[in-house]
Structure 1
Amino acid sequence: MNTLRNLFIPLALVGLTAVVGCRREATPAAAPVAAAPVATPQPAPKPIAPDTKFPTLKLTTLDGQPFDLAAQRGKWAIVNFWATWCGPCLKEMPELSALDAMREHIVVVGLAYEDTTEDDLRAFLVKHPVVYPMALVDVYNPPADFDTPRGLPFTYLIGPDGGVVKKYTGPVSARMLEEDIAAAGGPAAG
């Protein structure tokens, strides 16, 4: 039985080659076709978790108050990962603070992404005050529904429906955020 199988497989391959070869010869007017690259098996794409598009974020801010991103629905939320040692982060803080204070349709939350203590962070914020809530997040266990920052600052713009509108790696400005809010259907700046 194995002998028949061993003979059948090579004969089948020869027959298949002959059939394919005949087809090519049957259409001599066709332009030459480049050989297709051999596809290597790829792993199946990882399914996107529903929370990735509509992230959840529940934490306690440095002033002891709860912050729940879901409670901000109806507003544009800016979730800003930053660190005290990050120069561009410090430069954007006053603009983020002004947005939070001057625009009723915008709320900002700062997530200090560094290995420090809450007391040290509070002392830092005395010298660099902002009006928006701040929280210290664990660099070894960042919020699950957000990408781990590969650079700072790292900012998310969340729409009034709770969905991610845009991600920014690097510094943002009030103007940039307001233009992106307007482009996504929100109110124009001014």
Structure 2
Amino acid sequence: MELLVADWLKFSDVLAMLADSVVDYGSATHLNMPEARLKIVLDFGVHSKVYTMVLAEQARMLTIGKLAAIAEISTDSLRYYEREGLVRPASLTRAGYRLYGEDSAQRIQFIKHAQACGFTLAEIRELLELREHTTACCSDVRRLAVEKKLQIEARIKALKTMSKALDIMISNCAGDAIPVGECAILAALEEAKSGKKP
């Protein structure tokens, strides 16, 4: 007899379901359980035994702790990615624990690499959606990459301007033990606040 259930069940739990679930009788009675995760084979004989086999897919599932360790992130980060819609658990145990597929580790590496390239989580979500969209093409991804590059270049330009302004203020500061009220850097910042160039 084959029984499909959502999690490891006690033998008594299995027997309790028989009355409502039996579809066919015989040496290979089948039970129809759509929430299946595990396959349990029941051998009704004098020496009745319950043989529990984890389906190949279920056996490869990862708990949140294992996935976090493999991906080298904290469980808090993983939960945050999940709240942001970047990672989704494949299933839940009867106790409510999240189970993730093996592909989740690769997905997290994709997210981390994209972050290192400057993409925001919202942009990464868009990239992931494009990757899973059957009608999307490479030009859609390229457009996002070009937009990000232009944003980064604009940011670099702004940072260079800030750096030059700091160079001027630093060079104008004597660095001596003079009163703070006479500090050239603070004076330059005050002038900048009033709209004057430092």
- TM bracket, shorter-chain basis: under 0.3
Which structure shows the higher strand fraction?
A: 1
Q: Which has the higher contact order (CA 8 A, sep 6+)?
A: 1
Which of these two proteins has the greater Rg computed from alpha carbons?
A: 2
